[in-house]
Amino acid sequence: MNNVAVMYHYIRERNGWRGIFPLSPQDFSHQIDTLSKTYDIISLDQMDIPRSRPWCILTFDDGTKDQYVNAFDILKRKGIPAYFTVMSGPLVSGVVPMMHLVHTVLSFVSDEEIWELIRLKHDTTGIEEASTIYSYELDRLRRYNKYMLNVKLTTEEATEILGSVFDTLFSDRAKFIDDFYLTEQEIKHMHREGMTIGVHCHKHQPYCGNPQQFYDREIKPCRDYLKNVLGSSPEWYTPAFGGGVHHKAMREQLTPILVANGFKGAFSTVSKEVPQAREFWIDRIDCSKLLHAKINY
């Protein structure tokens, strides 16, 4: 049997947040207990140690507060390690990334209202077919909105639509960031308790096709921030969106730069098990798909 890395994002109750698909703390705890029956749940630095059972790594993207309040609390009580990645942009510059503007606004504002704002300003030709990439969204307008905001519109165009709406919901962005993301003290606490802290991104941008430019804009600022917080440079990396539509090129072009800068490995969003002889890029299975994956779970 091969090893497996599991990808997590929000660990929380939904509680009115209609724009996200969280895993509840209860389900997260149960999932860990079930995985533990088959896998040794290990830290990243234990991956290359021979063992009698296959291993499992728990990974967390985006560095949101619920991961500290819920996931970390459960892990600490069970004595289980995990890997958490941080997004530095909101903490350094006070800017909420587009992804979380979308999650927030679509949680508390009707899809009809957002669609009207988009439709009045932008060309929506072909939206029915194009939006099928969000087929898991049962509501037609929700699919349309997510496609336009996440894919078709530029960051500036989407921000123009969402920014003012977001500010009517959360007038104090600094407070929103403090409530929504990990703080420096929380990052330090998790690190002291044996959790691995890694680089996720600075502004949560997909791979741009220029490896050095991407490293300088999205990876280095986050790594520098974490070095200042933790006193040492993180050695593991997880790209936003798994790299995006150019993820295959990213693996090939970015790897030499990561290796040259001392990174030990990186994680993808490709849904595969991890072979015994792991490579630099480690594939992950989304936690929501565990029951459907071909692993002994």
Per-residue model confidence (pLDDT) at position 291: 54
Q: What kind and span of H or E run contains 170?
A: none
Q: How far apart are CA 84 and CA 93, in angstroms?
A: 21
Per-residue model confidence (pLDDT) at position 263: 98
Residues ≥6 apart with Cβ < 8 Å to 223: 199, 233, 234, 261
Segment 97-102 shows an average pLDDT of 92
Q: What kind and span of H or E run contains 297?
A: none
Decide: pTM greater than 0.85. yes
Q: Decide if 96 contacts 173 (C-beta within 8 A).
A: yes
Would the pLDDT of 262 be above 70?
A: yes
- Residue 276 — pLDDT band, cuts 50, 70, 90? confident
3-state helix, strand, coil in the chain (%, to 5): 55, 15, 35
Say whether domain 4-92+176-292 belongs to CATH 3.20.20.370: yes
- Residue 261 — pLDDT band, cuts 50, 70, 90? very high
- Residue 297 — pLDDT band, cuts 50, 70, 90? very low
Per-residue model confidence (pLDDT) at position 251: 95
Segment 210-237 shows an average pLDDT of 98
Mean pLDDT (the chain, rounded): 94
Map tokens 């691995």 to a residue. Answer: 196
Q: Decide if 273 contacts 283 (C-beta within 8 A).
A: yes
Q: What angle do CA 134, 238, 83 make, to 5 degrees?
A: 110
Per-residue model confidence (pLDDT) at position 136: 84
Per-residue model confidence (pLDDT) at position 294: 45
